[in-house]
Amino acid sequence: MSTPDILDLGGQVAVVTGAGQNAGRGIALELARHNAGGIAVNDFVPERAEAVAEEIRATGVPALAVPFDVGDLDAIKAADAAIRDKLGAATILVNNAGMAGPGGSLRPALNFWEENPATWDRYLRTNLYGVYNACFAFIPNMVAAKRGRIVTIVSDSGRVGEPKLAVYASAKAGAQGFVRSIAKELGRYNVTSNAVSLSSLMPDMPEEKLAELMASDQAKAQLARYTIRRYGKSADVAGLVTFLCSGAAEWITGQTYPLNGGYAPSM
């Protein structure tokens, strides 16, 4: 006798932004394992999106690569139409795309008052407006179906603050406020909206460079701030996101879950 899957997604179609690598890839693959009806894999690099979509298809789950920049609302609307045509209407949305957007990197360098204001937009466009855009495009599917899940990946930078990352942190904090607000709008439609707040994940780099990093004083000092003294893994993120997308979490909404090895506890 088989044991029922408490994380069963009921055949719903999911779209995961920023899913071409790292945690986003892990989330897409984990959703596919739990009876998703299809996975739309987004990345701003088409080759990465298609590679992950092919991995998912190999498991027997339909998948579609939908490359777009989350800062482009028209591109997301076009992707929604393509997903409807190939997979069906998406009623699960994971807002995973973040950091500094296409071609950018997150490297703390300057105090806020020393920054070039021209750099602010890349953080706001991806981490805040990108969440607005994806929700604006996909929420109507959920309202029409009277069911759905939205999970937004945010950051402890926005939850507790981080020096020399003020604009990035404020964008992530704004996304958390947005998550709570739309939760109150969407509850009557059986749609939940939650956030997962991350600290540092294991860097994606060649093994020799990773070994060098882990032996560095910088990594040792950083990990000393964690109760569980390791970086996060994609599997850590994928497990919690899948739970929040499942029927097991149907009475949880408007919440932010810290996933950080004890870096910054929540009250």
Closest to 138 measured CA to CA, from 196, 62, 63, 87: 87
| Window from 195-199, 211-215, 232-236, 247-251 with minimum mean pLDDT | 211-215
Residue with tokens 């997979």: 87
Angle between helices 22-33 and 46-57 (to 10 degrees): 30
Q: Is residue 250 part of a domain?
A: yes
Cβ–Cβ under 8 Å, residues 96 and 52: no
Q: What does pLDDT average to over the chain?
A: 92
CA distance 43 to 21: 8
Residue 210 banded pLDDT, cuts 50, 70, 90 = confident
Phi then psi dihedrals of residue 54, to 5 deg: -65, -40
Token pair in block for residue 21: 């690598």
Is 168 among the catalytic positions? yes
Q: What is the pLDDT of residue 103?
A: 58
Question: What's the alpha-carbon Rg for the chain, to the nearest Å?
Answer: 18
Percent of the chain with pLDDT over 70: 96
Instruction: Report whether pLDDT(264) > 70.
Output: yes
- Render pLDDT for 4-22 as a digit per residue (tens, 0 to 9): 899 999 999 999 999 999 9
Q: Is residue 5 part of a domain?
A: no
| Window from 2-16, 36-50, 216-230 with minimum mean pLDDT | 216-230
Q: Is residue 64 part of a domain?
A: yes
Q: What is the pLDDT of residue 215?
A: 76
5: number of Cβ within 10 Å: 13
Q: Is residue 244 part of a domain?
A: yes
What is the enclosing helix (H) or strand (E) of 75?
A: helix 73-86
Q: What is the pLDDT of residue 199?
A: 82
Instruction: Report whether pLDDT(108) > 80.
Output: no
Cβ–Cβ under 8 Å, residues 72 and 137: no
Token pair in block for residue 82: 């393509």
57: exposed, middle or buried (Cβ count in 10 Å: 0-12, 13-18, 19+):
middle
What is the enclosing helix (H) or strand (E) of 53?
A: helix 46-57
Token pair in block for residue 44: 């701003």
Q: What is the pLDDT of residue 13?
A: 98
- Render pLDDT for 49-105 as a digit per residue (tens, 0 to 9): 999 999 999 999 999 999 999 999 999 999 999 999 999 999 999 999 998 666 556
| Window from 150-159, 165-174, 213-222 with minimum mean pLDDT | 213-222
Q: What is the pLDDT of residue 104?
A: 58
- Render pLDDT for 165-208 as a digit per residue (tens, 0 to 9): 999 999 999 999 999 999 999 999 999 999 999 987 777 777 77
Residue 1 banded pLDDT, cuts 50, 70, 90 = low
Q: Is residue 264 part of a domain?
A: no
Our count of domains for the chain comes to 1
Q: Which domain holds residue 161?
A: 13-204+233-259
Q: For the residues 122-143, what does the mean pLDDT come to?
A: 97
Instruction: Report whether pLDDT(267) > 70.
Output: no
Q: Is residue 267 part of a domain?
A: no
Q: What is the pLDDT of residue 211?
A: 74
Question: Which position among 123, 129, 168, 263 bears the catalytic label?
Answer: 168
Q: Is residue 39 part of a domain?
A: yes
Question: Which CATH number is 116's domain given?
Answer: 3.40.50.720
Q: Is residue 165 part of a domain?
A: yes
Contacts of 177 (CB under 8 A, 6+ apart): none
Exposure b/e, 90-120, CB count within 10 A at least 16 = b: bbbbbbbbbebbeeeeeeeeeeeeeeeeeeb
